[in-house]
Structure formats: C-alpha cells, structure tokens
Amino acid sequence: MRNLLFLTIIYFLFVPNLFARSAPDSFADLVEELIPSVVSIASKTIIKEQHQQPLPQFPEGSPFDEFFKDFFDDGQRKSLPQRPMYGLGSGFIIDSAGIVVTNNHVIEGADEITIIMFDHEEYKAELLGRDPKGDLAVLKFDPGEKKISSVNWGNSDEVRVGDWSIAIGNPLGLGGTVTAGVVSAISRDIGGGSYVKFIQTDASINRGNSGGPLFNTKGEVIGINAAIISQTGGSIGLGFAIPSNSAKKITKQLREIGRTIRGWLGVQITAVSKEIAESLGLLNEKGAFISNINPEGPSKAAGLQEGDVILKFNNIEITKMTDLPRIVAESDVGSIASVEIWRKNKIITVEVELGELPEKTFVKRSVINKNEKTYFVNSLKLTVGFNFKKEGVIVIKTDDDSKLIPGDIIIEINREPVTTIDNFLKLVDTINKTGRNSLLFKIIRDEKSLWVTIIFHR
C-alpha cells in the first residue's frame, strides 16, 4: 500500500510537467491577428524576342520542308512577339508605411511587381533593394489612406528544436494559407549559400510559400521561408527558413541604401581534408584552408599567406570551411578582426582590418521611404539623404540638367571630406558665400570614384 501511494504521488508530480508543452487547442486567434500582414507577390517578367535562326535543312521533297516554310520567312525564323511570364510568391509587411520583405528569387528579373493584400486589394510595388547571397529583397508600396498592419521580428537565436512554428503564405497561388509544425533543426547548411544557416521546420511549405514568414507562438517572425527539399516538388516536411536575426540586418541595409554591406577578408578557401590535415600536422579536419589570396584584399596587407589554415575568427571556432564566409560577412566593415591561423606547425594570431565585400546589386531608387529624412539644397537644386555607410551623403533627387544621379554618394566637396549631412550643408553654404559659381564633388557611383562639377543656382 505504501509503495502504491508513493507511485501515485510521483505520477501526479510529473504529469503536469510532461504535458506543459502540449499542442495548443487552436492557433486561430493568433492567425487572425497575423494574416492581414502577410501578402501575395505577383511578378511579371517580359520575355524578349528570340533571335532569328537559320532554316533547318531537310531532304528535298520532305513534308517538313513545306511545313516550316509557313513558320520561316526567306530562310529565317519569323520574330516572335514579346510575352509576359508571371510568378507568384509571398511576403510580409514590416512597416505600416508599406515596407515588404520577401525572397530575392521571388522578384529577381521582374519588370513589374504587384502586392496583393489579404482583402485582395492590389498595389504596384517598387524594389528598394535585393541581396542574392542572402536571398532577400525589400519592396515598398504606397497604401495611401489605407491603414495596414505589420509584424514584428523575433529573436531566432532563442529558437529551440521542438518549438512550434507557423507558416503563412501563398502556396500555388492559394493566398492566406496557414500551416503549422515544429522546428526540426537549427543552423542547417543545405548548400544554398554559405551566407545563411537555415531553420528547418516540418510545417508544410510548398511552391509560392517563398518569402513568407515563419512565426513563433508569440506572433513574431523567426524566419523567412525560402526553400524545400523534395523529390516531387511538393512538401514532404523538409522546409527551410532564413533566421530572423540574419534577415533583420540585411533588410535594414536594403531598405536604407539598396544593397548589403558585408565584411571581406579577400581569400579563397577550401575544406581541410584528411590529407591536408595530416600533411600540415593538424589534429583534426576543422578550419578553412587558404588556397588563394586577393593581392588587393585586406588579408594580403595583414600578412596572411596561401597555405595558412584559419582556425578561429574573432574567437569563433571555424568547424567547417563554410562557417568562415558567413561569420566574416556578418562582421563590420573596417573593424579589426582577430584571426587565429595554423602555419608551419604553430598557432599564430593575425589582426586584419576587414574590407567590404564587393556587391553588384545596388538598386537605384526613384523614391524613398517617406519616413526617411531628406534635405533639399536650393542653391544646388539637389535632395540628399543620410548615407548608411556613415561616409558622405547619398543623392536622392536632382534636376534634369544635373551631372549627378540618384544613388550617387558625395564624399568630398572641393577636396574637403563630407562626413555627415550637417557637414555637407555647411560646406555648401560656406563656399556659396564666397561667390564661387561651381563646386567640385568627388562621388562614388557603381563602386567607382568620379569627379563632377556642379553649378550654383542663383
């Protein structure tokens, strides 16, 4: 009897804890609150005319000869008309001013982008910036007087395997579709790019879910649904999302300057194979083997050498070669990084001032977010804004006769450095009061420096 009583007490002590994380009765209240912030994205791409090609050769008298004469003219293929190609994806609103986040592959190459709200209202969208390496893009549309709701970012570093996850999106054109599951794994490398470690979920994700949000049970975005692994093309419970902490930094830069700013070492690396480890006297196959060094890169100036093995970066162990590009990219440009390397049977620490990874996806924008503060300089008929890189000011709008274009970054005036907007305005005003008719600007355009003269408007 005493043993039975003891077992009964133990049972009641453990049962509440056992079921503390049981499935909720329903996600309905949460979904009802979130779903207006999730949008469908329709992209339209114009397929250009095909190049003319020579008439295929057939044996004399072949029935195909007459058939193809109807399609070919004078031995050349008749021009085909331009035709549109449409794509569908998902996105979500992060700012009630009309800022939308999605995947880069949802809108890449699109000539027109349309935002479709949950209530089926449609808006033309503008591309503010895109990042192919991180597979992210930021769009903007003008909601006018319509009040729209937005969602908040969550902390993906707090996500644990087994946590509930909720996906909302536009799979196969069926907008407003909700699925739920658990987080299956974190920091998953699926070979889609070394700049992202994915959250894996078994919430059903299909084509068209790309760019849609993955929520936690607090209604916070913990990931952006980006990929699936499937032999059939449909969901088999292997969905992958870009973690919110990675996405937040990227989307902030895309929104403000139209591109990403990533740290850069300037090295080519390969995995440390068993043979490389043995030949260099390493105890294991961890690290990244430097196979080549860019002669213009920061690593060359810091003294790194081909044949070195990078073991740690800023005290973070490089377990796999693919860890290094992501960690370096997330570091601040211009910061001093401590790089621990293996060279000639010794561990050496080298300090490297990180450069900026070259990007070719800068988006020149015709408009900017209404919430971003700009300054109109009447004497130059020029509108400028804050430059996220904290060097110079960015050109927002000019008159038709100006030698400047939107997106130019002004870094010098008459050989004086431009550091802030206040500094820029003060320099212009000071030079204007001297009576000079023109200014000499040093600008950055498409990652190249140029010199441009600007005339005062008096």
Q: Which of 380, 393, 383 is nearest to 454 (CA)?
A: 380
Q: Are strands 213-215 and 164-169 parallel, antiparallel or unpaired?
A: antiparallel
Among residues 43, 210, 244, 299, which one is catalytic? 210
CA distance 171 to 209: 5
Q: Which of 227, 200, 202 is nearest to 212 (CA)?
A: 227
Contact 180, 165 (CB under 8 A): yes
* Residues contacting residue 309 through CB under 8 Å, at least 6 positions apart: 272, 276, 280, 282, 287, 288, 289, 290, 341, 342, 343
Among residues 43, 90, 105, 165, which one is catalytic? 105
Query: Does residue 338 carry a catalytic annotation?
Result: no
Q: Are strands 263-264 and 355-356 parallel, antiparallel or unpaired?
A: antiparallel
Query: Does residue 135 carry a catalytic annotation?
Result: yes
Query: Does residue 210 carry a catalytic annotation?
Result: yes
Reading the block at residue 415, the tokens are 């050989």
CA distance 64 to 80: 20
Among residues 40, 43, 90, 135, which one is catalytic? 135
The CA distances from residue 295 to 216, 301, 321, in Å, are: 46, 8, 21
Reading the block at residue 404, the tokens are 């400047």
DSSP for 55-122? PPP--TT-HHHHHHHTTEETTEEPPPPPEEEEEEEEEEEEETTTEEEE-HHHHTT-SEEEEE-TTS-E
CA distance 414 to 441: 6
Q: Which helix (H) or strand (E) holds 251?
A: helix 244-257
Reading the block at residue 93, the tokens are 């609103």
CA distance 123 to 145: 13
Report the catalytic residues: 105, 135, 210
